[in-house]
Amino acid sequence: MTGSRSFLARLREGDEIARLVTFLFAASVVLITILLVYELWVNSALPRHKFGFHFFVTSVWDPILDQFGALPFIYGTVVTSAVALLIAVPLGIGAAIFLAELAPPRISDTLQFFIDLLAAVPSVIYGLLGVFIIVPLMRTVIAPTLIKTLGFLPIFRGPSYGVGFFTAGIVMAIMVIPYIISVSREVLLSVPRDQREAALALGSTRWESTWKVVVPFAKTGIMGSIFLAMARALGETMAVTMVIGNSPKIAASLFAPGYSIAAVIANEFTEATGDLYLQSLVYLGLVLFLLTFLLNGMARLLILATTQKGSKVTA
């Protein structure tokens, strides 16, 4: 009895209306997300049925003959991301260790502020700098030096045009470093203080306590930051499109021009004629979505596991 009266009272005061309105807005976020997955799925039906698994293992991309194989793009995405991570992971983790373990809080916060600004630089600006600075530098300095010194490796062989997998990897590396630093720093800071103090008390040097105690403690979280960076790298579009060379070929040389999944969508989507062509590009988008979905999910679990481990030990 009182229930219905208080319900009416609350209704009059607007609580139920406020609840309903805010609920509708919150629910729309879920609906939009479901709609996104649905649209990607439905709009890629043609190539899914026509090519099936062959889509991922064939390398002919010919809109005129209606033949679509995504292997060159997948290869390009994987190779450029690998190059990017090989450069960004050591640099990023090193910097994170410095910020979390060594630098005084004031300096650490100031540097972190700059890192946050670096993360805010848009992708197209990185592309602009890539086109006009890194590409010429690659053609005239970096590639010739590497060919001369490490030319016995097949990945450093062949002519360099400036654009290519390696250039794209370098630009991508600069872009993902801020993410690795920010997340790794936070994870390292969540390692309980007594872990460090115990190691130092046992006579280890500062580096030994960092490398043998703190970093292993934070290992899963740091892995999480790497997965996060990988997800960013896979979905990175503009900067890569501008420096990868846009040629759908698979080449062993890192200096050869290539293509990536995101770049081919960016370049060909507006020009795609015919349903199969367009839907093949949407299919590539679906693949990209699923990959980043998996990587982000894993990253979140790993980071959560580490930070909770830290708070559990302290408590």
Partner 1 sequence: MTDARLQWRKFVSNFMLTMTGLCALVSVSALFFILGYLLFNGGTSINWAFFTQLPKPVGETGGGMANAIVGSGKLLLAASAFGVPIGFLGGIYLAEFSGGFVAAIVRYAADLLNGVPSIVIGIFAYSVVVLPFKHFSTLAGAFALGLMMIPITLRSTEEFLKAVPSNLREGAMALGASKSKTISTVIVPAAYRGILTAILLALARVAGETAPLLFTAFGNRFWTNGWTTPTASLPVMIFTYAVSPYDDWHRQAWAAGLVLLGLILIINILARTILSRGIAVPRS
- Interaction with partner 1 in 237-296: which residues (CB under 8 A)? 237-238, 241-242, 262, 265-266, 269-270, 281-282, 285, 288-289, 292-293, 296
Minimum distance, C-beta of residue 302 to partner 1, in the bound complex (Å): 14
Burial string for 251-275 (b: 16+ CB within 10 Å, else e) reads bebbbbbbbbbbbbbbebeeebeee
Reading the block at residue 233, the tokens are 């790298």
Helix (H) or strand (E) holding 285: helix 275-314
Minimum distance, C-beta of residue 23 to partner 1, in the bound complex (Å): 5
Q: Which DSSP symbol is given to 66?
A: T
Measure the CA–CA gap between 238 and 253, rounded to whole angstroms: 23
Nearer to partner 1, 122 or 144 (CB): 122
# binding residues, partner 1 (CB under 8 A): 90
Nearer to partner 1, 71 or 111 (CB): 111
Residues near 180 by beta carbon (within 8 Å), at least 6 away in sequence = 88, 89, 92, 93, 96, 225, 226, 228, 229
Binding-site member from 143, 168, 171, 177 for partner 1 (CB under 8 A): 177
Binding-site member from 99, 168, 187, 214 for partner 1 (CB under 8 A): 99
Q: Is 14 in the site for partner 1 (CB under 8 A)?
A: yes
Helices H / strands E in the chain, number of each = 17, 2
Reading the block at residue 41, the tokens are 């799925």
Nearer to partner 1, 10 or 309 (CB): 10
Nearer to partner 1, 110 or 140 (CB): 110
Q: Are strands 67-68 and 61-62 parallel, antiparallel or unpaired?
A: antiparallel
Site string for partner 1, 183-222 (x = CB under 8 A): ----------------------xxxx-xx-----------
- Interaction with partner 1 in 104-143: which residues (CB under 8 A)? 111, 113-129, 131-133
Binding-site member from 57, 102, 141, 304 for partner 1 (CB under 8 A): 102
Residues near 177 by beta carbon (within 8 Å), at least 6 away in sequence = 88, 91, 92, 95, 118
Nearer to partner 1, 86 or 125 (CB): 125
